[in-house]
A = this chain, B = another copy of it.
Amino acid sequence: MKIPAPVYHPSFNITRASHVVMTVTDLAASKHFYTEVVGLIVSEEDSGTVYLRGLEEACHHSLVLKQANDEPVCERIGMRVFTEGDLDKAAEFYEAAGLPTKWVSVHGQGRTLHVTDPAGVPLEFCATMTVMPRNVTSFAKFKGGSAHRLDHYQLLVPDVQAECDFYMSQGFRMSEYIVADHVEEFAGVFLQRKGNPHDLVLFNGSGPRIHHFAYTSIDAGTLMRACDVAGIFGFGSKVERGPGRHGPGHAQFVYFRDPDGHRVELFTTHYQIMDIECEPIRWDANNQLRKEIWGLPAQRSWVEEATKFPGVAVASPTLKEPAMTLERFLAARG
């Protein structure tokens, strides 16, 4: 395990996690879930696609739902770069790395670059989107979890070190990391560009798969409201974990499975981290902070299940350390 040296002046400027494209088997059901329970706003829709954004977002979309022809997958995750020039430099970076790049046209986005990372994750970069009205003060439209903005993704990858090295070479900085219990290897790393704990989280596991994407919410009461509303609409069993409090990142969270099993998190209370002197926080079995976590472990489904990328083979992780699950915890306790 080696924490890569941060690259303070990367060749191109990624500003933040931007959007995610998911395919779903029943577009109407998914739209209902994301608008009523999660609280997203529909920016635009047609017979095969729904474009959604959070209440504070002025971008055209942070979540795109597409009618699936096959099993539901994550088509692509999106990152914003600052300028058009950064986009060109991103293309150069990926080409120099011998990775696939392709310029494409995407509805609601400016010039868009498709790339694939070394683990096989399909990414896209753009510098701009069509501007939409912010609904941050449209209080009468706030529903369910009142999702305000997309914040980050979590990926399961078979080699956290390699993937971490790759993203940190693009300027991502590490805020926190988890060390495996029995070997000095990364169990997970939290990488950020926008100055809060994470834009991209990488966890050891069969992958590449997307574990979840996360939206900010308002406060603990609103997280609870999201669950309450989920119950009303028949999604009570889709509240997979929480409400609770994270160790790394320290956020209050709740996780839902959408009608196709894609996982979305609502959370609050991240902290700001941008100063150069801040070292990544280490979480290991001896960390005092770890001892302060409350509640039960996540159930097995949360630990193991995730959404595939289309046509991307899933490999087993090199680090063989099974994460604690609720099932294992209860069994061990007898």
Q: Which of A232, A234, A273, A275 has the most CB of B within 10 A?
A: A275
Are B80 and A232 interface neighbours, CB within 8 A? no
List A211-255 residues whose CB lies under 8 Å from chain B: 218-225, 227-239, 243-245, 250, 252
A56 contacts the other chain (Cβ, under 8 Å)? Answer: yes
Are A272 and B56 in touch, CB under 8 angstroms? yes
Tell me the smallest distance from the CB of A176 to a CB of chain B, in Å. 11
Which residues of B are found within 8 Å of A291, using beta-carbon distances? Answer: 234, 236
Q: Is A5 an interface residue (CB 8 A)?
A: no
B224 close to A274 (CB less than 8 A): no
Could you tell me the distance in whole angstroms from the C-beta of A287 to the nearest C-beta in chain B? 12
Binds B, one of A66-74, A93-101, A128-136: A128-136
Which chain A residues (36-88) contact chain B, with CB distance < 8 Å? 36, 56, 58-59, 80, 82-83
How distant is the Cα of A149 from the Cα of B129 in the complex, in angstroms?
A: 31
Total contacting residues, chain A, CB less than 8 A: 76
B294 contacts A237, CB within 8 Å?
A: yes
Which residues 143-176 of A sit at the B interface, judged by CB distance below 8 A? 143-144, 148-149
Tell me if A16 counts as interface (CB < 8 A to partner B). yes
Q: How far is the CA of A296 from the CA of B194 in the complex (A)?
A: 35
CB contacts under 8 Å to B, within A262-310, are: 269, 271-279, 289, 291-296, 299-300
| Contacting residues of chain A (113-137) with chain B, CB-CB under 8 angstroms | 127-129, 131, 134, 136-137
9 contacts between A and B (CB under 8 A): A83-B276, A140-B229, A220-B220, A221-B221, A228-B245, A231-B293, A296-B299, A300-B330, A326-B330
Task: List 4 A-B pairs, minimum CB-CB distance, nearest first.
Answer: A236-B294, A219-B219, A231-B294, A56-B271
